[in-house]
Each structure stands twice: as C-alpha cells, then as structure tokens.
C-alpha cells in the first residue's frame, strides 16, 4: 500500500490542496485524507469522484476560511467598504446558489474550462516557440548564414572554404560558428551503442554565448584537419551512459574505436540552433580544408554590436561576389544569404501557430456563448425570484451584483479547471508534435501563460454574464406581475437564446471549414506521387569505422559483400544501399560542372549500390540501370533524374553526356573525373512530399565509396520483422559494427508529414468540440421552446392539428437558427480562411469541396439536435396541457 499506487494527477491535486491549507494544518489534514482513501481502497469503495469531491470541498471551504481571516486583518475602513458593498455577501450567496444547482454549475464550469484550457494550452506553445527569446546570449544578434543559388534562389548549407571566407573577409560579424552532423559508435565494454553528435568549429559555444558549466570549448589550433581526438559530451550522455562521474574531464571515451579525451560538458538541454539534442561534439577540423564544392556546414554568425542584418547581408553578398569571380569553377552563380536566426527557425510555424490560436479563441467564444445560454435558461426560471426581490426593495443593482458574483465564481472556478486541463492537454500535445515543432522543450507554465489563462477567464465571463445581466436589467416588477405566475417574458428571452444559438452555429461552421480545408489539403499531400514505393522496405544505417575500414575500397567491399549476403536470402526480395534514404532528412548537395559550360549547377548527389533503384521501386525512364559491373575500375557512370535531365540538358538527350562532381574522395578533391550519364530515372521526392524533386544525380558507390550507408531492404510483410536478422547478418560480418536507426521506410515518410498531420488532427478536434457545443446550443433552445409553447401546442392539437405539424414547427425553428448561423459562418469564413494561405497544399483557401463538406456535416448535426426536442413536441398531450395551464 505504497505511494506508487497513487496516480500522478492525484499527487498534483494534493500538492495544490497543500498550498491552500492553512499553515500547520497541511500534514494532519492531508494525512487524514490519505488514510480515508486507503481505508476505502481496502473496502473496495474508493472512487476518483469521491476523492475529487473531498479535495474540492476541503479546498473551497478552507480557502474561504483563510480569506475570512485575511480580511479580518484588513484595516477597519477597508472592511467596512467591503461589507457595505455587500459584494462579499453576494459572492457567498452566489456560491451557495451554485452549490444548489450542481448540474448547471458543472456544465458551465466545464464549458469555461474547455475554452480557457484550449487557449492556455495553445498559447503556452506559441509563447515557447515564437514569443520567447532563444536560449542563447543576445539572441537578436544571431543570424543564420547560408549559400544561395542566385539563379533559382534556393538556399543551402556551406562548403568549408566558402564558410571560412565568409567568416574572415566580412566586417559585420563578431564571430561565426558552423557544424555538421556526426555519429559514432561508443564502446565501453558494454554493448556498443550508436551515438549522435555534431562536429563543430572552434569557439562555437562562445559565439552562441552559452558558457560551458565544465571544461572548455574547442580552440582554433584544434580545428584543423585530423583534429586531436577531443570531445565535448552532452549533459545527457554524461549523466546517463557515462555515469555522471565527476572525473569525466580527465578521462577518455572510445568513439569508432578511437579514444577521445573529454574536454568539456555541454549545459543541460543545450542544442545548436535548429538542431535536435545530441550526445557529443567533436571538432569539425575545417581550418585548412580546401573544398569549395562539397556543401555540408550549417552556420550561424553573431553580428557586431551596432551592425544590422541588412549590413551583414550586403557584406556577405559582396564577399560571395568576389569569390565567384575568383573561383569560377565552384562558386559561379553562388551568393550568400543572411537571415535573423529566430525568423529562420520559427518562420514557418508562425502562420500555423497563430492559426491554432485563432481557432481556440473562437472555441473560447463559443464555449462562453454556451454558458450564456445556460445562464439565460436559469435566469428565466429565476425571474419569479428576482421579481419578489424587487418587490421587497432590492435595487436593480443588487440583482446585477448577484449575477456578476455568480459569473465571477464560475469564471474563476472554470478557469482554474481550464489551467489543469491545459497542463494535461499540453503534455498530450507535446507527445503528438514531438520533432515537428521546434523549441517544444521550452514549453512551461509560467506567469505569462497563467496571465493569459486569467484574461481568457475574464473575457469568457464578460461574454456570458451579458445574458443574465440583460435579463436583470430588463426586470420590471409590473411586467412580471402582469404576466401571471409561472409565465415569463418568453418571446424576448427566446429570441436572445436563438441569437446565441445562431452565433454558436456560425462559430462552429468557421472551425469546421478550417478543419475541412486542412483535411483536404492533407489528403492531397498524401496522394502526391513520391516516385518510389516505401511499403515493405526496411531502412538501417551502418557506419564503418576508420580503424577497420581505412580506405574507399575496403569500405565499398564491405557493403558489396553485405548486400550480396542479403540479396541471397530467401526472405529478402531485394536489397540495396544508398548514402541516405528518402525522407530521412539527409541531403548532399554538390556543385556540378559541365564540359564547355562556365557556370555550374547544384544537384543532390547520392552514392548507391546496384539494386537500389529496384528496391525503392523507382522508374527507369531511359538508358540502363546500375549493375554490379559498374565497379571501381569500370568507366565512371552516373544516373540522373528527370528534373536534372530537364534542367541541365534542356531539349537534349542526356545519355552519353558528361559531368564532373566537385566532391572529395578521401583527401583528394575529385574535380578531374568526368562521368558519363548512363540512364535516367524518375523523380523521387526525397525530402518532403510537398517539395518537388531536386535535380538528383546517382553515383555507383563503387566509384564513390562512402563509409556510412543506409541499407534498403525490401521484404514481404512487415519490414520490422527482419530487423533481428539484419543485425545478425551485420554482426556475422563484423561484430564491432552497430546497426542504427532501423525503421520501416513508411515511418520515415510518415515522419515528414507528421507536422501537417498534427495541425489537421488538432484543428479537427477543436471543430468536433465546437460542433458538439453548438448542437447542445440548438437542442437547448428548441427544448426551451417546446416547454414554453406547450400550452400553444396543446391548444393546436385540441383544435385538430396533426402531430406531425407540431414536429415540423419545432424543426422549422431549428432550421431557421441553423440557416442564419450557416449564412453568418460562411460570410466570416470567406474572410478568415485567408489566414490559411501558406498552410494549404494543393487547394485554395476557398476550396468549394471543403466548404460544402463542412456545411453538410453541420446541417446533419443540427438536424440531429432538433430531433429530440421535436419528438417531445410530437408527444404533447393536449388534455394534460389544458388541465395545467
């Protein structure tokens, strides 16, 4: 019977209760609660509802008690003012009144909680991602530095030589930092594990303004080729695998078979801008690398104090121009680009997050209107009570004051529930969004977020308190008395309620249309032709260490042998390997040279093995496919995709044409090797479904060996079932190798659309809630109508009306409300959907199918909402009505 049986949410509520309890009583009272809960558990009588009720009653009473004690301490004058205003009494009275109507109070609080919770949750994400400054020193002075293709405007990562020239020949920057991805196998006596890292230039931490809690940054002299084996480990790796040892700075860890001395520990949670968290950092070693063609460095720069982004941009562009004149081979047509770091990281998400925020704001209004409807219903039944009060001399202000007190309590209670809902909802949101949205790890419920929660509660209260307030304001004793007991001013009230219900329908339609647009856009995205067939293909990364495979030929021999084994298996349909898999986020962009042409082009380059085209299910359009005969000694051949053929040899047949890749093999730049185009393959969308394919060039890995490749294995059935076998195969070839990132290719594809799916799901959720709320609104109005018009209907029946006519009467009322709501909603949507401009794929913001679909769904729901009250109308018994009226 220990504490780990107790669920997390109960512990959180206990903590909150503890904060409310008077000092000195917390221990005994909370202990008593636990004791009673345990006793109930033993008897099998424990229920969460019981427990929550206990907590609620304890917290409200004791909080009130504390408040009273606090008030007693106030100076006498203040106390007298409060007492005179009677508002305290109104609050007390409102509290009691709400307790007497738990159904109403709960329904109202639930609506408010829903609205406030949604707003708070989304705002906490918007705050963390967009509004809060980045976790680096003076983040406003950080910019991202990239190369730009002047012809088509595409931006990309830098080559080492270009990076150094940008850094050294400009005057606007205080410093720059650059990095590329790295990964290694960590061996320490236990099972070898694959770790990810970044190779960073010297003083990267200093440039970012992030001090290392222990150890030091890399120095300039450590940033040359073949850098000394030093490593900075992440906080996570240090605390985890490395045991959090204090002596770590004097020790070495073994990466890819080599010992690396630990010289520093990165701060907890540190990430390079725009990157995920990694395990280690090594030196990039680029200070003396002469390579302008191969591009793989991501870079940021810190502006000098006083330098503007525009100045830095002009500066870089100037340097790029100079370089393009000097190095026509690799740099012609290449410019530089500078953009503020924050914009670069979150720019895309701004639109989408504001869209979400607008959606939840609508939801809040909708929920508040629902509460207003509830309050109107209640106010109608309390009119008699109000009238009596007026007769007894209560001023109109008192009635208003009472309504305000009630609204305030509901708003605060619902708002608090909303914050709890938001805390839970945000953790659910985060697990959905994961790597889709940057900076999610910074989401926290701080003062700003709570302030928004408070503001939403107040806004909600303002909306829904207009209802009973209006009722109270129009109160007149004479009017009430003249209508007789039990009869109230029905028509005015009903019209107000109908307006509210219509407003709810309109708001729900707006959200529905938004969701429909996103759903349509998402399905259009998914139906894009990827150019390959991911079903049934398993991907896995294998990296060879320099120790065991020191040169290109040993590397390519390994992969050749491995693939031979795999292809020989009966459970493998076909197997190949490429430098990186589609949709894996990998990309190698290289400058291409053509004979007789001055400028070069940039294309995506992949080293692949034979069988890769077939394994991926790519189309061969012309020429021949890659064969095992395309070995190291064979004539250099390449394959190009349709886009490359179109861009580089417009109107000509590319087969037989030649090109050069400005790549490095080992230490030698490979500028001099001409390669002949042997075939054309279909376009493959390598990065995102939404992005049309780059120009792609495929090189046989035997002719461009690489030390790490992604295996692509097509099997029958579920690809993951082959994972164990794959590990065995690799281990049999070399037990020191780790196979990493084993995943079905389909998962990688799904990952690229994860973000779109996230927004679509979320907005659909909001729309569904909105739909439900508006259906309740309509049903409520009609039910009210049926009750009010019972005598009228009884009379009609007695006079010979058909029951169906009564039903039609009610349905007509519902239809009227729905139609006006739909009309208003369509009008608003036509204007609002512009917000989705940059977000939709393949369809316009006024897509007729989405609009129509949303209207149909809404109409159907409204019809359903009419059904119950309408059937009640049909069952009215005229004799009973005539008797009781």
Tokens of 297: 């460095």
DSSP 158: B
By CB under 8 A, residue 62 contacts another protein: yes
Q: Which of residues 3-22 bind another protein (CB under 8 A)?
A: 3, 22
First to last CA, the chain: 61
476 binds another protein (CB under 8 A): no
- The single residue among 9, 15, 16, 28 that binds another protein, judged by CB under 8 A, is 28
Binding of another protein by 47 (CB under 8 A): no
* DSSP designation for 396: H
Q: Which is nearer to another protein, 375 or 409 (CB)?
A: 409
Size of the site for another protein (CB under 8 A): 21
Per-position DSSP letters for 455-506, written without gaps between them: HHHHHHHHHHHHHHHHHHHT--HHHHHHT-TT---HHHHHHHHHHHHHHHHH
> Does 400 help bind another protein (rule: CB under 8 A)?
no
DSSP letter for each residue of 816-840: HHHHHHHHHHHHHHHHHGGGGTTT-
Binding mask 104-143 toward another protein (x if CB under 8 A, else -) reads: ----------------------------------------
Q: Does 668 bind another protein (CB under 8 A)?
A: no
Rounded to whole angstroms, the Cα distance separating 828 from 826 reads: 5
Q: Which of 13, 30, 357, 622 binds another protein (CB under 8 A)?
A: 30
What is the smallest separation between the CB atom of 418 and another protein, expressed in angstroms?
24
DSSP H helices, 127-195, are 160-169
Toward another protein, which CB reaches closer, 15 or 479? 15
DSSP label of 689: T
* Partners of 698 in the β-ladder: 606, 639
Report if residue 70 touches another protein, rule: CB under 8 A.
no
CB of 880 to another protein, least distance (A): 39
Between residues 37 and 723, which has the closer beta carbon with respect to another protein?
37
According to DSSP, the β-strands at 674-681 and 637-641 are parallel
- Assess 1 for contact with another protein (CB under 8 A): yes
Stretch that binds another protein, among 52-60, 541-549, 618-626, 686-694 (CB under 8 A): 52-60
Contacts of 52 (CB under 8 A, 6+ apart): 13
Q: Indicate left, alpha or beta for 215 from its phi (over 0: left) and psi (-120 to 50: alpha).
A: left
> Shortest approach of another protein to residue 4 CB, angstroms?
11
Query: Does residue number 38 form part of the binding site for another protein (CB under 8 A)?
Result: yes
Pairing outcome for strands 334-340 and 142-149? antiparallel
What minimum distance in Å lies between the beta carbon of 788 and another protein? 39
Give the binding range for another protein (CB under 8 A) out of 27-35, 310-318, 398-406, 433-441. 27-35
Closest CA to 700 of 622, 621, 611: 611
**Which residues make beta-bridge pairs with 708?**
543
Report, in Å, the least distance between residue 414 CB and another protein.
Answer: 22
Question: By CB under 8 A, is residue 152 in contact with another protein?
Answer: no
CB contact set of 396 (below 8 Å; sequence gap of 6+):
390, 472, 473, 475
Would you count residue 43 as binding another protein (CB under 8 A)? no
* CB neighbours of residue 693 within 10 Å: 19
Which run of H or of E encompasses 508?
Answer: helix 490-526
- Choice between 28 and 629, CB closer to another protein: 28
Nearer to another protein, 47 or 635 (CB): 47
Pick 25 or 308: Cβ nearer another protein: 25
Residue from 31, 243, 666, 692 that binds another protein (CB under 8 A)? Answer: 31
Q: CA–CA separation, 522 vs 110, rounded Å?
A: 32
Which of 25, 381, 553, 554: binder of another protein (CB under 8 A)?
A: 25
Region of 57-65, 295-303, 727-735, 817-825 interacting with another protein (CB under 8 A): 57-65
Tell me if 49 contacts another protein by CB under 8 A.
no
3-class DSSP assignment, residue 546: coil
CA distances from 799 to 29, 463, 794, 809 (A): 66, 43, 9, 16
Q: Among residues 13, 51, 54, 623, which is the contact residue for another protein, using CB under 8 A? A: 54
Give the 3-state secondary structure of residue 598. Answer: coil
Nearer to another protein, 4 or 250 (CB): 4
Interface with another protein (CB under 8 A): 1-3, 22, 25, 27-32, 34-36, 38, 54, 57-58, 61-62, 65
């Amino acid at each position: 019977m220990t504490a780990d049986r107790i669920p997390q949410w109960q512990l959180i509520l206990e903590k909150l209760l503890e904060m409310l309890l008077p000092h000195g009583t917390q221990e005994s009272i909370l202990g008593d609660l636990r004791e009673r809960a345990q006793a109930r558990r033993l008897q099998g009588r424990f229920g969460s509802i019981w427990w929550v009720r206990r907590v609620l009653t304890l917290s409200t009473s004791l909080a009130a008690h504390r408040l009273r004690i606090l008030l007693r301490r106030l100076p006498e004058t203040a106390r007298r003012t409060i007492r005179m205003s009677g508002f305290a009494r109104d609050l007390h009275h409102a509290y009691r009144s709400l307790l007497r109507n738990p159904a109403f109070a709960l329904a109202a609080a639930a609506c408010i909680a829903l609205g406030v919770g949604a707003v708070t949750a989304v705002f906490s994400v918007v705050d963390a991602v967009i509004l809060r400054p980045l976790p680096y020193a003076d983040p406003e002075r950080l910019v991202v530095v990239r190369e730009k293709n002047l012809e088509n405007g595409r931006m990309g990562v830098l080559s080492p030589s270009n990076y150094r020239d940008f850094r050294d020949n400009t005057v606007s920057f205080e410093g720059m930092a650059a990095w590329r991805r790295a990964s290694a196998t960590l061996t320490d006596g236990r099972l070898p594990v694959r770790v990810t890292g970044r190779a960073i230039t010297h003083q990267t931490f200093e440039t970012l303004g992030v001090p290392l809690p222990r150890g030091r940054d890399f120095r300039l002299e450590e940033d040359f080729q073949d850098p000394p084996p030093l490593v900075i480990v992440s906080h996570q790796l240090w605390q985890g695998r490395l045991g959090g040892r204090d002596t770590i700075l004097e020790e070495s860890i073994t990466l890819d078979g080599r010992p690396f001395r630990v010289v520093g520990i990165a701060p907890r949670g540190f990430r390079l801008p725009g990157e995920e968290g990694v395990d280690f950092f090594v030196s990039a070693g680029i200070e003396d690398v002469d390579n302008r063609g191969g591009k793989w460095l991501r870079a940021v720069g810190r502006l000098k104090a006083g330098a503007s982004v525009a100045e830095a941009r002009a500066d870089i562009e100037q340097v790029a121009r100079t370089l393009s004149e000097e190095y026509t081979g690799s740099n012609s047509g290449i410019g530089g680009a500078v953009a503020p770091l924050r914009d670069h990281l979150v720019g895309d998400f701004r639109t989408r997050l504001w869209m979400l925020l607008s959606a939840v704001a609508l939801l809040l209004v909708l929920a508040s209107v629902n509460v207003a409807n509830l309050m109107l219903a209640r106010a109608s039944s309390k009119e008699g009570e109000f009238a009596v009060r007026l007769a007894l001399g209560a001023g109109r202000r008192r009635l208003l004051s009472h309504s305000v007190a009630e609204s305030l309590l509901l708003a605060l209670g619902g708002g608090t529930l909303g914050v709890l809902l938001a805390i839970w909802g945000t953790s659910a949101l985060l697990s959905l969004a994961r790597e889709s949205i940057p900076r999610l790890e910074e989401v926290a419920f701080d003062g700003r977020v709570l302030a928004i929660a408070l503001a939403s509660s107040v806004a909600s209260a303002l909306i829904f308190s207009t209802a009973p307030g209006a009722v109270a304001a129009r109160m007149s004793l004479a009017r009430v008395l003249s209508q007789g007991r039990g009869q109230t001013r029905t028509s005015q009230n009903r019209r107000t309620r109908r307006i509210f219900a219509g407003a709810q329908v309109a708001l729900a339609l707006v959200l529905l249309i938004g969701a429909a647009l996103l759903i349509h856009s998402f399905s259009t995205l998914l139906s894009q032709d990827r150019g390959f067939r991911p079903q049934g293909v398993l991907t896995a990364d294998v990296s060879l260490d320099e120790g065991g495979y020191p040169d290109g030929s040993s590397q390519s021999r390994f992969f050749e042998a491995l693939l031979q084994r795999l292809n020989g298996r009966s459970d493998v349909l076909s197997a190949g390997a490429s430098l990186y898999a589609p949709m894996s986020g990998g990309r190698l962009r290289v400058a291409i040279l053509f004979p007789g042409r001055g400028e070069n082009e940039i294309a995506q380059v992949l080293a692949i093995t034979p069988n890769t085209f077939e394994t991926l299910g790519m189309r061969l359009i012309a020429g021949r496919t890659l064969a095992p005969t395309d070995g190291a000694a064979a004539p250099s051949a390449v394959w190009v995709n349709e886009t490359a053929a179109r861009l580089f040899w417009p109107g000509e047949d590319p087969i037989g044409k030649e090109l050069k890749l400005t790549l490095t093999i080992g230490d030698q730049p490979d500028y001099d090797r001409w390669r002949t185009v042997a075939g054309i393959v279909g376009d493959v969308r390598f990065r995102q479904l939404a992005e049309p394919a780059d120009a792609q060039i495929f090189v046989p890995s035997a002719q461009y060996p690489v030390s790490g490749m992604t295996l692509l294995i097509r099997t029958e059935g579920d690809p993951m079932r082959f994972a164990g076998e794959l590990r065995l195969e690799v281990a049999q070839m070399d037990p020191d190798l780790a196979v990493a990132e084993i995943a079905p290719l389909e998962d990688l594809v799904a990952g690229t659309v994860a973000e779109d799916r996230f927004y679509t799901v979320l907005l659909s959720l909001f729309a569904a809630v909105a739909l439900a709320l508006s259906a309740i609104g309509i049903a409520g109005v009609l039910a009210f109508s049926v009750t009010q018009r019972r005598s009228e209907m009884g009379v009609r029946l007695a006079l010979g009306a058909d029951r169906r006519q009564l039903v039609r009467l009610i349905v007509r009322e519902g239809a009227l409300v729905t139609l006006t709501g739909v009309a208003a909603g369509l009008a608003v949507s036509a204007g609002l959907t512009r917000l989705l401009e940059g977000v939709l794929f393949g369809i316009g913001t006024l897509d007729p199918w989405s609009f129509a679909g949303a209207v149909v769904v809404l109409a159907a729901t409204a019809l359903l909402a009419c059904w119950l009250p309408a059937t009640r109308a049909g069952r009215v018994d005229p004799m009973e009505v005539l008797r009781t009226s």
